[in-house]
Structure 1
């Protein structure tokens, strides 16, 4: 029964790519530490948003948020009765922005595009103490790079291309379990990671070699689950991210008011709290299913043109199939109602509303 319940808790993670505050692409879950015995997994996710806005003149931006994919890998080794080791690969932050050309839409910033790419490897150890309490922690190595090209009225007026930088942070946490009812509460802190980039900025037909620092913010995860009746599990998470620590402020861009108005290329005025709550159910020895609801508060105000979303509501459906005694396949789909947002272009305000997206995910896990 414990193994079945642990399997069902994993459905929440396998229900598609994340869509949350800032440029987040991974929830940095430590759930793999609680798998039984030795365990390995591979997960693929895809998310296809539809995000567009309307300028006061009536010009439509067109869909400026292309779809993207995610990959994660995990390995957990039980060293002995008290110690576990896990290694996780994921893509914690990312962005993909591509406004259709102004010649096709008439939208003032048409043609503007940006990408952020990342990858991270996290090594964790867990120590089991008396009274079903455990502590865990480790190090994260994170690599990040980015590009941006800004257009106004069909003309390219600024470009940014950064180096790929690898830096380190840490993870600490504690958990309590009650195996008889498949209960577990895990609280995890992920430190901020500062990256100092070498960059090439292009403005006014000239190239500038510069550098600047960006912080991928700290976060706190609360993950929980408990059996509420036979073969039925209540599960969820609360995730806080300190997004006001994050900004992209290349010196040439920020230092020229004609380019930026003195504002960062990207920054966030508010931190975010993301909630997920769902129920999993074991149907028989092979099949389990789950439904999960997600929510992130709409903050209001204006947001940047390279990220015109604000909050969300979501629902996920997932199913898990125990293919053999040690191979488990989990798949899911997710619908996201993307929160309405407003952006500023000069003295004007663009309205982004009625946007949504679909995600899907597949995870294969092997116990050995």
Structure 2
């Protein structure tokens, strides 16, 4: 029998912790959807806890109209941006999530497993005095093509009661939360393994837009009801234990959620807005509060994970993790929001959209110090999903440096701890119609986590 490379087993769980599970990536990507535990021999189980703290601050737009000299809060090109008031940290509440999984070998060829994670998410909290926060007596100027110089009084104190957004006060806020359970069945032969299975996903979201940055859309509320839907995952892997080589390519499908969305847009209670709608050729009136069935589709993804022994003498292992998510195909289009936006844009607008696909790459080096202790360092890069970016997540990718240690308490039980520093790319925030609403620079964050794992062969 060929002898296994001695560093492989002791570092595998550690590497997934430091490289994948602590990401703050493009779009709504949070967990990296790691399933590396499925490729351990024998019975394996793990539980992760991760803590992410970020500092994302910037300035709103104080662009002055070249004719009137008045501040109009938004502009349609980057050249029309003027630094305005400061935007406090929009992620001042640290984000935490858990991940766990269990895997077992039925026989020498067949393996089964179940893995839980929280793949997509967002938590944005605006505060302070800027264009993303409303005043109770706010009046919003109507941008072209609305009636020139017209204003709409928005009674902010009355709008939170309609769709369950009490407690959000007068600031723009976003919450997106998902949970995913991935079931896997794998068949191994001659070093190769094919695997796949169903994916059960639960998703919900809440959005609140406030302030002059959103023009007549200020006061908009949306609640995407909790929904559970099915998708699937499949992949192929190859291993060669004598050189600690493990490679896996995993595809995850889109998952389509058809669920009621409750929306409230107080500007539609304005006679002026309704007259503009009629002048644009729309018959009837749009109601300011509606609940309609809509579709929200979470994106597909592809993960490639590679590890290989580099030096048996020094007990070194190298890793490469690559992830692709096609955010360019992703949109959230609430029906009322979209219908109202058609007054200004013939095709209407989504609430959230991205311009580019995401690429995420992590390169790691691990070393086994003795039979119980191993350590790793990881350098990472995330491309982001385009710049300018959504005002609901204003970073343009990142560079990262992370590392961690793993200690085998017993031959079966181990505890790992890791951390990562992230330097975010500077980003210009825009609305889906292209209007520039803010600028975010010199931002960073860090992540930390622990993992408890058990493996028995």
TM-score by structure 1 length? Answer: 0.94
Which one of 124, 144, 147 corresponds to residue 206 of structure 2? Answer: 147
C-alpha change, 1:255 and 1:295, in structure 2 (3 Å) is same
Kept in 1: contact 2:426–2:440 (CA 8 A): yes
User: Corresponding residue for 2:324?
Assistant: 240
Instruction: Describe the SS at the equivalent of 2:337.
Output: helix
User: Corresponding residue for 2:117?
Assistant: 90
Q: CA RMSD in A?
A: 2.0
CA positional deviation for 1:297 = 2.1
Q: Which moves more between the two structures, 303-312 or 149-158?
A: 149-158
Instruction: Describe the SS at the equivalent of 2:390.
Output: coil
CA positional deviation for 1:30 = 2.3
Structure 1 unaligned residues grouped into runs of 5+: none
User: Corresponding residue for 1:207?
Assistant: 289
Kept in 1: contact 2:200–2:228 (CA 8 A): yes
Instruction: Describe the SS at the equivalent of 1:151.
Output: coil
CA distance in 2 between partners of 1:69 and 1:259 (Å): 40
1:296 to 2:385 alignment = no
C-alpha change, 1:54 and 1:223, in structure 2 (3 Å) is same
Instruction: Describe the SS at the equivalent of 2:370.
Output: coil
Which one of 101, 104, 107 corresponds to residue 77 of structure 1? Answer: 104
User: Corresponding residue for 2:173?
Assistant: 113
Q: Which moves more between the two structures, 189-198 or 109-118?
A: 109-118
1:37 to 2:42 alignment = yes
User: Corresponding residue for 1:183?
Assistant: 245
1:11 to 2:71 alignment = no
TM-score by structure 2 length? Answer: 0.76
Q: Which has the larger radius of gyration?
A: 2
Kept in 2: contact 1:304–1:343 (CA 8 A): yes
1:268 to 2:292 alignment = no
CA positional deviation for 1:34 = 1.4
Instruction: Describe the SS at the equivalent of 2:87.
Output: coil
Kept in 1: contact 2:7–2:244 (CA 8 A): no
CA distance in 1 between partners of 2:218 and 2:384 (Å): 32
C-alpha change, 1:156 and 1:364, in structure 2 (3 Å) is same
CA positional deviation for 1:217 = 0.8
Kept in 2: contact 1:25–1:93 (CA 8 A): yes
Kept in 2: contact 1:70–1:91 (CA 8 A): yes
CA positional deviation for 1:180 = 0.3
CA distance in 2 between partners of 1:178 and 1:314 (Å): 30
Structure 2 unaligned residues grouped into runs of 5+: 63-83, 135-170, 270-287
CA distance in 1 between partners of 2:54 and 2:239 (Å): 37
User: Corresponding residue for 1:50?
Assistant: 55
